[in-house]
Amino acid sequence: MNTILVTGGAGFIGSDLVRLILDEEPETRVLVYDLLTYAGNLDNLKGYLDNPRLEFIKGSVCDRDAVGQLLASRDVSHVINLAAESHVDRSILGPKGFAETNVLGTVVLLEAACEAGVKRFVQVSTDEVYGSLGPEGSFSEDSPLAPSSPYSASKAAADHFVEAFGRTFDLPVLVTRCSNNYGPFQFPEKLIPLMILNALNDEPLPVYGDGLQVRDWIHVRDHARALLAVLRQGDPGKIYNIGGGNERTNLDVVRSVLQVLDKPESLIRHIEDRPGHDRRYSMNSSRLQAELGWQAGTPFDDGIEKTVQWYVDNKAWLDSVTTGEYRSYYSAWYSGGRTVG
């Protein structure tokens, strides 16, 4: 029985991956390592915490001694690094924490993985490392990196370290870069759950600028399946783009949420655009599809309807994560005269 270490495994994407592995790989143990900051939540793993193949340990990826002991003592065979500060807005408010967790934390994991002799190390990155795209075309794995925000800069730096450890120390590394995720258990600082939360409460829905920024949306379960495919079948040393093939403007996404909830578009409030806001992302996932046989299986209209319904049905979860810290962040970011229409 092999053991997969999933850092950030109590977060949005990490917890979905953990649930998928436990459901579909009966011969695999999962070790979740998570600091349980504001977006990490053991309720995301409710119903799985008593599984004998799951072990949870609270800790920071920046703690070199703890990480090294963890990999050595648990006979970890594979690592999937999902531990990250991941919200662009917060990176503008405080870049230093993003450099610490996303860059230093990744280096700590890489060093420990080399010492432990892990079989595979998967670095989970983002399409945002490529920067902004024009109205045509899609990012390939060979597209140059041109990050626009402190968040994307930290992820690009981490990607470089991962590739360097592969070349220098022969660590079997793989990098994935995914488009915008949505689905259950996503912390409501991100666009879709934020719009759902505010619409449910009949509060204004803040939309940056003209709202015509384009993102490629993918359901979190499709992303989790892609990560598992890369872990099991990917070619070490390679990068794999992961896209849902669902390009939508932010404004169209917001309108979709309102339509499902039967709420009026008058709730939309256009606010001052975010500094350095990329205009368009689009991912070419042909390498992943051709080499590993992966396909995104969730049409956006179906996925968004089910996602909205999940938040409606799980209002207690939503209430539990929108307490003091969330309200402080929301007030700090969205106050101060940002509304423009």
Q: Output the DSSP codes for 197-266.
A: HHHHTT--EEEETTS--EEEEEEHHHHHHHHHHHHHH--TT-EEEE--S-EEEHHHHHHHHHHHHT--GG
Contacts of 44 (CB under 8 A, 6+ apart): 10, 11, 12, 15, 185
User: pLDDT 10s per residue in the chain (341 long)?
Assistant: 899 999 999 999 999 999 999 999 999 999 999 999 999 999 999 999 999 999 999 999 999 999 999 999 999 999 999 999 999 999 999 999 999 999 999 999 999 999 999 999 999 999 999 999 999 999 999 999 999 999 999 999 999 999 999 999 999 999 999 999 999 999 999 999 999 999 999 999 999 999 999 999 999 999 999 999 999 999 999 999 999 999 999 999 999 999 999 999 999 999 999 999 999 999 999 999 999 999 999 999 999 999 999 999 999 999 999 988 898 999 889 975 444 33
What is the per-residue pLDDT for 340?
37
Active-site option among 16, 34, 85, 128: 128
Q: b/e for 180-205, b at 16 or more Cβ within 10 A?
A: bbbbbbbbbbbbbbbbbbbbbeeeeb
Active-site option among 130, 151, 240, 281: 151
At residue 209, what are phi and psi to the nearest 5 degrees? Answer: 55, -135
Q: Which two tokens stand for residue 205?
A: 């829905």
What is the per-residue pLDDT for 323?
87
Q: Which of 160, 153, 206, 177 is nearest to 281 (CA)?
A: 177
β pairing state of 214-219 and 247-249 = antiparallel
What is the per-residue pLDDT for 339?
43
Told to judge if 128 belongs to the known catalytic residues of this protein, a careful annotator would answer: yes
What is the per-residue pLDDT for 337?
45
What is the per-residue pLDDT for 126?
98
What is the per-residue pLDDT for 207?
98
Told to judge if 33 belongs to the known catalytic residues of this protein, a careful annotator would answer: no
What is the per-residue pLDDT for 310?
98
Ordered by start, the domain boundaries in the chain are 2-182+218-242, 191-214+246-281+298-326
What is the per-residue pLDDT for 336?
55
Active-site option among 127, 159, 189, 247: 127
CA distance 16 to 178: 15
The sign of the CA dihedral 55, 90, 97, 279 is positive
In CATH, what is the architecture of 2-182+218-242?
3-Layer(aba) Sandwich (3.40)
Told to judge if 63 belongs to the known catalytic residues of this protein, a careful annotator would answer: no
What is the per-residue pLDDT for 325?
86
Return the CATH class of domain 191-214+246-281+298-326: alpha beta
Q: 3-state class of 65 per DSSP?
A: helix
pLDDT tens-digit map of 162-213 = 999 999 999 999 999 999 999 999 999 999 999 999 999 999 999 999 999 9
User: Tokens 């495919």 correspond to what residue?
Assistant: 229
